[in-house]
């Protein structure tokens, strides 16, 4: 099959049958688009012409690029290439999978960077309660920290997702839904936004069911949510890097430090594997000593 036709078939598959998010599909399109360009430059025009040696040359070329790609980026690229070739073989478009021996580089395990509780409180208190956009920003930040939601999940919320009072319905990766508690502080902040600010923002744009709206009434974007977090971090004088995932990391870390079971945190975060959640279970030596001292009958 011609390369472009094969790519279109795969993107339709991951969109319709697997229900992946627009963000994930865009990443596949970007990664595989670059792969197809390289194949064309290498003289390959049909998927039947791709061999393990061709894939090896492609990965070697990408790994030796200047500047060198991050190991996570290279791993994602290899995963995209593998997924595409597996699909072609599974659907009978090609006889075999030339990417079968491809193994992603092992990325170094890095602990998520979490804020301290004091830093979180300063961050949440940064937006001005006297300004309409400040009320919205406070609601967004409180919700992110209270639920551990991904930014994409938060900006994708509809007003109806709050209909169950003290719990919230989130739509995660692969369109999987989960129900999480929202907490009284976040609920109060969101209620203040819904009562005082959202009707005003909604009147400025086309009717939208989305919970969080921008200054002109359109649904708040992921990029705008990132700017909200960055502005709050600057105002709170937090010098460490604060990314869109920082509040999610802090949510998980603080729950585990407070004694929550790792499998409960797994459910709240929407992780398909507990191994992903266990990265948060790293605790300091001092914390281990404190737990040992207060728990073991022969510690003293």
173 among known catalytic residues: yes
254 among known catalytic residues: no
Distance CA 230, CA 239 (A): 11
Which member of 62, 76, 150, 171 is catalytic? 150
Contacts of 198 (CB under 8 A, 6+ apart): 136, 159, 211, 213
145 among known catalytic residues: no
Distance CA 106, CA 101 (A): 15
204 among known catalytic residues: no
Structure tokens at 92: 């009978």
Which member of 187, 198, 254, 271 is catalytic? 271
Nearest one of 244, 188, 239 to 221, comparing CA atoms: 244
Is residue 180 within 8 A of residue 147, CB to CB? The reply is yes
164 among known catalytic residues: no
Which member of 136, 248, 249, 254 is catalytic? 248
Distance CA 183, CA 167 (A): 8
271 among known catalytic residues: yes
Neighbours of 276 (CB within 10 A): 12
Distance CA 15, CA 13 (A): 5
Which member of 29, 82, 86, 173 is catalytic? 173
Scan for tokens 């170094």, then name that residue: 108
| Angle, helices 132-147/117-124, rounded to nearest 10 degrees | 150
**Which are the catalytic amino acids?**
150, 173, 245, 248, 271, 280
């Amino acid at each position: 099959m011609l390369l472009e036709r094969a790519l279109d078939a795969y993107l339709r598959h991951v969109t319709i049958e697997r229900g992946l998010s627009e963000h994930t599909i865009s990443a596949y399109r970007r990664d595989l688009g670059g792969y197809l360009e390289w194949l064309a430059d290498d003289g390959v025009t049909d998927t039947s012409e791709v061999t393990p040696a061709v894939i090896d040359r492609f990965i070697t070329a990408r790994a030796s690029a200047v500047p060198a790609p991050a190991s996570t980026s290279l791993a994602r690229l290899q995963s995209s290439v593998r997924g595409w070739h597996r699909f072609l073989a599974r659907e009978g478009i090609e006889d075999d999978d030339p990417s079968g021996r491809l193994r992603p580089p092992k990325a170094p395990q890095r602990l998520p960077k979490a804020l301290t509780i004091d830093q979180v409180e300063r961050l949440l208190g940064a937006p001005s309660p006297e300004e309409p956009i400040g009320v919205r920003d406070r609601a967004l930040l409180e919700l992110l920290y209270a639920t551990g939601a991904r930014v994409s999940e938060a900006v994708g919320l509809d007003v109806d997702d709050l209909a169950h009072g003290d719990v919230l319905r989130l739509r995660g990766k692969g369109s999987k839904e989960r129900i999480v508690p929202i907490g009284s502080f976040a609920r109060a902040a969101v209620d203040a936004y819904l009562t005082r600010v959202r009707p005003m923002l909604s009147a400025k744009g086309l009717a939208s069911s989305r919970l969080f709206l921008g200054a002109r009434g359109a649904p708040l974007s992921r990029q705008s949510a990132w700017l909200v977090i960055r502005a709050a971090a600057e105002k709170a004088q937090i010098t460490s890097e604060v990314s869109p995932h920082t509040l999610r990391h802090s949510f998980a870390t603080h729950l585990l430090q407070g004694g929550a079971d790792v499998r409960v945190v797994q459910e709240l975060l929407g992780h398909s594997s507990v191994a992903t959640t266990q990265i948060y279970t790293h605790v300091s030596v001092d914390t281990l000593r404190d737990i040992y001292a207060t728990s073991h009958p022969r510690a003293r």
